[in-house]
Amino acid sequence: MSESERAEIERFQRDVIEPSMTQLVLIDFWAEWCGPCKQLSPLLDKIAGDYADKGVRLVKLDVDAEKFIAAQFRIQSIPTVYAMYQGQPVGDLSAFRTEPQFTKAIDQLLAQFKVPSEGAAAEADIVPLLAMGEDVLAGGDAARAAAIFSQIREMAPGDAAAIGGLARALLASGDMDAARAALDEAPAALAEAPDIARARAALELASAPAADTAALDARIAADPDDHGARLELAGARAAAGDRDGAADALLEIIGRERDWNGGAARQRFLQLLEAQGLADPWASAQRRRLSAVLFT
């Protein structure tokens, strides 16, 4: 075997065989002098772009430059288009010339061989990192958690859990401006995502203005029905990280006058739960407390 043939094999191994272990690779055998090849090329480029996130990759092999590989595939006419998966040819798409023909065949191959999409692969990669970030944040190391969530966001810029986690970690580290910026930079389509909503709720609670809690306590002692003072006290406690104290104050308002100020206490209470995470055991326990107040 000559050096040039060995080089062709190495390129084919790198550009086709290795990617085909996880992707459906379309091989376009072509040549510069081939008119039909040039006509087909833009269509293949478009299809490859449309299917890129579904696990499809296009590789173009010039039969004049890759003579040894072309001979191994017994290429007798061009354009020739093969599909490969996990190192094996799985389809001959050479007869196709229209987009519907190609897409139908590609869809069938993707379904038949259960080719993972890039989105699914990326999600699989970041799931354990997201769990690590949440564990680190729960353990109190906000700076390290922020670093982990930042890494995830670089891997998956549109992942709501990574953006929300980063904002909460920055908030926990005391950088409220950076937390707000992280949320403001999130794609508009993610505005209603639970992870984004949770982080925004936490940011809003943490943004409560500083208050003289001693003065508020004195007002409440003098008038237990001073719901305005109690609501302000709940906000101050939430901003200081005293979720239990905030919940107690809000439930006291709801128990005394559930619809006060348009249900402001109940809305703030639900925001407190959202900021904690609705699936959190603490939030579940507080929902039970709310139900007990409302229905007894």
Amino acid sitting at position 26? L
Checking 280-289 for CB contacts under 8 A at 24+ apart, the result is: 282/243, 286/247, 289/247, 289/251
CB 227 within 8 A of CB 265: yes
Answer yes or no: 37 catalytic: yes
Cα–Cα distance measured from residue 137 to residue 164, given in angstroms and rounded to the nearest whole number: 12
- Of 16, 24, 34, 246, which residue is the catalytic one? 34
Residue 30 parent element (H or E): strand 24-30
The CA-atom distances, in angstroms, between 110 and each of 90, 96, 107, 138, 233 are 11, 17, 5, 40, 58
- Of 24, 27, 37, 84, which residue is the catalytic one? 37
Nearest to 9, CA basis, from 52, 72, 53: 72
Nearest to 167, CA basis, from 193, 280, 189: 193
Answer yes or no: 34 catalytic: yes
Q: Which residues are catalytic?
A: 34, 37
